[in-house]
C-alpha cells in the first residue's frame, strides 16, 4: 500500500498541470460544501445564542389569553387562583429545574416618577427572593431585598439600568425616593444581568426576530404589591433549567403545574412557557433550507470532478499499457494492478479534497468578512469531506482500474 501511494504521488508530480486540472472539480465541490456548511453552522449557533442569550437557561411562564399575556389591569381573571405552596414545591423539585421564582408583573405602568424624572414606558414587577438568581441578575450598587422587606411590607425598590437613568438622570439613584401610583418607595439597589449579552443584529429581519431591548423595569417586594395595585393576583413564573437542552422540558412541566391554579370551566386562559429552544429550531430550519439547496448544487461539482477523474484515469491506463503488460508478464496479479490504480485515483481525489477544505475555510472567512454572515468551521464536515473525496476516487477510479487489471499481457506488449 505504501509503495502504491508513493507511485501515485510520483505520477501526480510528473503530470502536475494535468493532475491539478483533474482535481479542480473536486476542489471546487469540497470548497463549496465546506463554505456552505460553515455558514449553516455559524448561522444556527448565532440564532441559538441570540434567542437564548448569555446562557442562564431561564424560561418564563406567563398567564396568557388568546395568544398574548393576560392584561392584569382589567382585573384578576375569575377562576384563576394564586399559586399554592404545594405548587411552588413541585416546581422546585422538578429534575430539570435548578431554581424558580414567582413574580407579579405589569407590562406598562403609569404614575412612576421621581423628583428629577419620570418613567412612562416601562414595567413593574413584584418579585420574590429567587427572582434575581433565576434570571441571572446581580445587584451592582446598593443592596438586594432582605427578609424584613417582605415580612414588614417595606416600600423599597430595585431598578435596572434603564429605569435608573430615566428616573434619576442627574442624581444618585440609590437612597433616593420615587413614587409608584402615588405611593413613596425608596430605591435600595440597582441590578443588571450577570452576563451582559446583546443579540447580533445584521438585518431588519434580525432586529424583528432577536431584538431584546427592554424599556426598563422597577422591582418591588411581592409582599408590597397590594399596596400599589390593591389586590392579590395570579403570579407568573420564571424557572432556570439545569442545562440549555432541558429548557423546553423545564418550561413545559412548570406550566403544567401552574395550570393547576386554573379552575374548571375557565376557557381561553392558561399558563404557557416561552419555548426559546423550539423557536430557535424553527429559525434554524428556515435559515438552513436555502443553504441545503446550495449543498445539492455543490454536490454536482463533485460529480463532475469524479467524471473528470475517471476520464483521466482511462487516459492513464492507455498511456501505461506497456507498464501494465510488463508487470503482468512478470507475474503481477490482477489484484495488484487494481490496487495500484485505485490507490492513485484515491490519492488524487483525497489531495483535491484536502486542498478543497483549505480553500473552503478561506472562502468561509471571506464570506463572513464581506457579508457579515457568522461562520463556524465544522470539524466533522471537514473529516467527512476528505473521506467523501477519497470515496469518489475509489468509485470513479474503479472502471479504469478494472480495465487495467484485465489487460492481457501479450496484447498489451504487442500494442506497444
Residue with cell 433550507: 289
pLDDT, tens digit, for every residue of 289-333? 666 666 677 777 777 778 888 877 777 776 666 666 667 666 667
pLDDT confidence tier of residue 64, bands split at 50, 70 and 90: confident
272-284: b or e for each residue (b if 16 or more CB lie within 10 Å)?
Answer: bbbbbbeebbebb
Q: How far is CA 192 from CA 58, 109, 160, in A?
A: 15, 20, 6
pLDDT, tens digit, for every residue of 107-146? 888 888 888 888 877 789 999 999 998 888 899 999 999 9
Tell which wins on pLDDT, 313 or 286.
313
pLDDT confidence tier of residue 204, bands split at 50, 70 and 90: very low
Where do the DSSP E strands lie in 143-197?
156-160, 177-180, 183-193
Would you state the cell numbers that stand for residue 381, as one nine-digit string? Answer: 464536515
On whether the CB atoms of residues 142 and 230 are closer than 8 A, the answer is no
Does the pTM surpass 0.75? The reply is no
Tell which wins on pLDDT, 157 or 385.
157
CA distance 149 to 141: 18
Cα 191 vs. chain centroid, distance in angstroms? 27
Tell which wins on pLDDT, 176 or 9.
176
Most confident of 84-98, 297-311, 377-391: 84-98
Most confident of 4-8, 72-76, 130-134: 130-134
- Could you tell me which residues come within 8 angstroms of residue 263 by beta carbon, excluding any fewer than 6 positions away? 79, 80, 81
- Dihedral sign from CA coordinates of 351, 357, 359, 362: negative
CA distance 132 to 178: 21
187 DSSP β-pair partners: 157
Amino acid at each position: 500500500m505504501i509503495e502504491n501511494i508513493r507511485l501515485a504521488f510520483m505520477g501526480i508530480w510528473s503530470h502536475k498541470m494535468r493532475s491539478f486540472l483533474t482535481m479542480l472539480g473536486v476542489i471546487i465541490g469540497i470548497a463549496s460544501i465546506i463554505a456552505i456548511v460553515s455558514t449553516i453552522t455559524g448561522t444556527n449557533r448565532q440564532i441559538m445564542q441570540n434567542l437564548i442569550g448569555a446562557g442562564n437557561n431561564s424560561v418564563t411562564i406567563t398567564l396568557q389569553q388568546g395568544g398574548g399575556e393576560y392584561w392584569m389591569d382589567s382585573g384578576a381573571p375569575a377562576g384563576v387562583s394564586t399559586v399554592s405552596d404545594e405548587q411552588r414545591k413541585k416546581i422546585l423539585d422538578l429534575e430539570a429545574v435548578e431554581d424558580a421564582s414567582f413574580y407579579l408583573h405589569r407590562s406598562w405602568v403609569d404614575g412612576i416618577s421621581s423628583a428629577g424624572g419620570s418613567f412612562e414606558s416601562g414595567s413593574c414587577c413584584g418579585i420574590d427572593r429567587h427572582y434575581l438568581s433565576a434570571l441571572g441578575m446581580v445587584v451592582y450598587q446598593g443592596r438586594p431585598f432582605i427578609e424584613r422587606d417582605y415580612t414588614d411590607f417595606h416600600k423599597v425598590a430595585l431598578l435596572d439600568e434603564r429605569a435608573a437613568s430615566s428616573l434619576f438622570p442627574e442624581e444618585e439613584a440609590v437612597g433616593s425616593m420615587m413614587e409608584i401610583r402615588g405611593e413613596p418607595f425608596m430605591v435600595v439597589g440597582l441590578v443588571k444581568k450577570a452576563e451582559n449579552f446583546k443579540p447580533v443584529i445584521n438585518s431588519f429581519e434580525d432586529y424583528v426576530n432577536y431584538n431584546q431591548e427592554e424599556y426598563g423595569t422597577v422591582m418591588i417586594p411581592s409582599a408590597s404589591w397590594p399596596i400599589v395595585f390593591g389586590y392579590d393576583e395570579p403570579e407568573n413564573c420564571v424557572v432556570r433549567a439545569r442545562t440549555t437542552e432541558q429548557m423546553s422540558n423545564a418550561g413545559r412541566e412548570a406550566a403544567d403545574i401552574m395550570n393547576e391554579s386554573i379552575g374548571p370551566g375557565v376557557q381561553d386562559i392558561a399558563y404557557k412557557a416561552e419555548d426559546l429552544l423550539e423557536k430557535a429550531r424553527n429559525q434554524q430550519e428556515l435559515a438552513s433550507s436555502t443553504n441545503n439547496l446550495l449543498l445539492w448544487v455543490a454536490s454536482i461539482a463533485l460529480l463532475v470532478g469524479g467524471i473528470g477523474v475517471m476520464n483521466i484515469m482511462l487516459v492513464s491506463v492507455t498511456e501505461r499499457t506497456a507498464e501494465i503488460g510488463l508487470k503482468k508478464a512478470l507475474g503481477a496479479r490482477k489484484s495488484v494492478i487494481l490496487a495500484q490504480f485505485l490507490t492513485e485515483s484515491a490519492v488524487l481525489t483525497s489531495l483535491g479534497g484536502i486542498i478543497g477544505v483549505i480553500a473552503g475555510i478561506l472562502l468561509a472567512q471571506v464570506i463572513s468578512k464581506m457579508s457579515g454572515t457568522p461562520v463556524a468551521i465544522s470539524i466533522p464536515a471537514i473529516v467527512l469531506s476528505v473521506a467523501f473525496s477519497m470515496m469518489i476516487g475509489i468509485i470513479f477510479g474503479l472502471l479504469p482500474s478494472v480495465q487495467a487489471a484485465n489487460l492481457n499481457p501479450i496484447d498489451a506488449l504487442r500494442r506497444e
